[in-house]
Structure 1
Amino acid sequence: MLNLNILSQFSRLSLTSIAKIPVNTRSITTSAVVQFKITDQLWAEPLKKKKKLDPAIVKAREERRRKRIEKQIRRLEKNARQLKPIEEIEPPLHLLDEMGKRKRPAVVLTQEEIEARALLLKDWTRYKKQEYISNVNQIDRIMAAQRRALDMLYEESEELYNEAIMPDLQLLPYSISGTYATPPIKNYNSPDGEYIDVSKKWGNK
């Protein structure tokens, strides 16, 4: 920066010419007349000197890091073909021990028994088919009778017809109650919540 005592001897014209010198500043002025400008503040600090480490210490650290990585690779190779167990489908151990007692021998059917079961299945299929056809026919007859009754009611009175086709809201009563919409509470400190991690860890560490 220029000395203020020296600048006081310059005329206004000379100060204006000095101010016109292009500089890389923020255009911050301290006076509207002399148009002084200040430079940017650089909040820098000297770089820290890197500490020189003993090559033996650096080599020992790299060796420990390499051994740690090799140990992890060996552990992964050991468990490569071992699948992670799923507790939901894993049977209890006491059931595995009693598998011989609980396992039933396969039933060997005779030819007569196989033919009897096949005929019984066919009879059951025919029965269910006839039952389905009779139910469909009965529903069709009911709907046709209802349609004829509504047509006859419409010929008698249109108002009664409109009331008849209205849905009955009392047939299936339904009520519900729950929380209501409320405005937010001012200055409410919402808790972050807490949880307990109960997941089990698997594999050797």
Structure 2
Amino acid sequence: MFNLNIFRQFSRLTISSAAKIPINTRNISASAVVQFKITDQLWAEPLKKKKKLDPAIVKAREERRRKRLEKQIRRLEKNARQLKPIEEIEPPLHLLDEMKKRKRPAVNISEEEQEARALLLKDWTRYKKQEYISNVNQIDRIMAAQRRALDMLYEESEELYNEAIMPDLQLIPYTVSGTYATPPIKNYNSPDGEYFDVSKKWGQK
């Protein structure tokens, strides 16, 4: 027969033990009933013993570091105002000599000529605007007519409509051979991609 007194004592013991367990977010501990405890994790290592250096060695190291920095500063100051020449932008010397001959005198335009040019520019702007509007309207009319034709074709036959909207595969590999900027050179051997870098290096020795 089950003894209720033992069950009541066991229940009170369990409740009292649970009440003694502290709530700690950093470790897990329990009362003497559980008999175990986990302490905090320590991930540190013993400190290394610092070696005592000779003050003369430390001073020599600092002196060498200071001299190296001063040398770099002097090198930067020396090349600060030295610009890198760009051969592609510099004009040839014979053009510099002929600059006075090639220089055109300033043209003085009268106020009437300036007004006429301004009116001509406005007329040209209005003309190009009307041309653009007419081109857009023509494209819209063509697209609307095409849409109406496709709708009428769909009412007649769906198969013909599907054939009409299919892309023309013969036009996909489209190639054009037109005029070139320069005529072809006869018996010219095309390079295979190799080249020699002849650009000058500045600031290096």
| TM-score normalised per structure 2 | 0.50
Determine which structure has greater relative contact order: mean sequence separation of CA pairs < 8 Å that are 6+ residues apart, divided by chain length. Answer: 1
**Structure having the larger proportion of residues in helix:** 2
| TM-score normalised per structure 1 | 0.50
